[in-house]
Structure 1
C-alpha cells in the first residue's frame, strides 16, 4: 500500500555536537496523510530526530501519531538517510 504523508514541523532546535554528528530535533505540529483505503491527520507531538554528519548527510528518526478519519490512532516510526545538494538544502530552509 502506498501512503502520502505531508508533515508540518516547527523550526528545528539544536541538541548539540556529538561524536556521531550534530544532533537536532524538529517538532511535528500537524499534517495529513492519505492512501487508497486510509486517510486522516498527523497529530502534533511527534518529532524528527536528526543527526547531521560531517558530509552534510542526515540520518532521520521520525516518530508521530496518525488519526484516521474514522477515529483510529496509528503509531508511525520511520528511519532513513537524507542526502541533498546544497541548492536543495537552501530551498528546504527557505
Structure 2
C-alpha cells in the first residue's frame, strides 16, 4: 500500500519555509590552540560580547561564551555555547552547532533581500538550540532554526531563520 502524499496549507508535498527571526553578531577574541590529534586541530574561540537585532528578538550577547572548533581535512565542526540577554532582561542559552568549509561547489551565494548572507563556495551553516523559561521567549525553545553565518577573525554574524 502506498501512503497518501502529505497535505499542507501550501498544497501537497510543499517544502518547509524559512522565516527570518533575528541576526546575532558575536565579537570574538583570538582563538586559543588546544591541540593536534587524530589528523586534525582543535581550537577554542572566546566570545566577548555582541548584539542581537531582528523582528522577533533584540538584545545583547553576553561575554564568556565560546566556540570549540575541530578542523579535519579543511572542514570545521563548530560547537558554540553562549548567552543572550534579551531587551526585556530574560536570559537565553544557546548551543549552536554547525560546519564551515570552503571550496564547496554546491554552496551558492545566498541573499536575504539585498544583504548577501553567504558567499558562493562557502558552506557556513549552524543548527541552534535555545533554552529559556522566560514566557515571552519560549517560542525559541519550541522551534527548529537554521543559521546562515558569515564572518572573519574578529566577528561572526549569524542570521537565524525559523523552519515552518
Q: Same fold (TM over 0.5)?
A: yes
Q: 1:60, CA displacement in angstroms?
A: 0.4
Whether the 8 Å contact between 2:28 and 2:153 is mirrored in structure 1 is no
Contact kept in structure 1, 2:22 and 2:56, CA below 8 Å = no
**Per-residue deviation, 1:93:** 4.5
User: After superposition, where does 1:7-86 map in structure 2 within 5 Å?
Assistant: 7-19=26-38, 21-53=40-72, 55-85=73-103
Q: In the TM superposition, what whole-angstrom CA distance separates every residue of 1:2-31 from its partner, at most 9, and x where no partner exists?
A: 220100010001000121620000000000
Bigger Rg, structure 1 or 2: 2
Consecutive aligned runs of 4 or more in structure 1 exceeding 2 Å deviation: 91-94
Structure 2 residue ranges without an equivalent (≥5)? 1-18, 104-121, 123-150, 155-164
* TM-score, scaled relative to structure 2: 0.50
Hey, what's the Cα distance between the residues in 2 that align with 1:14 and 1:46? 16
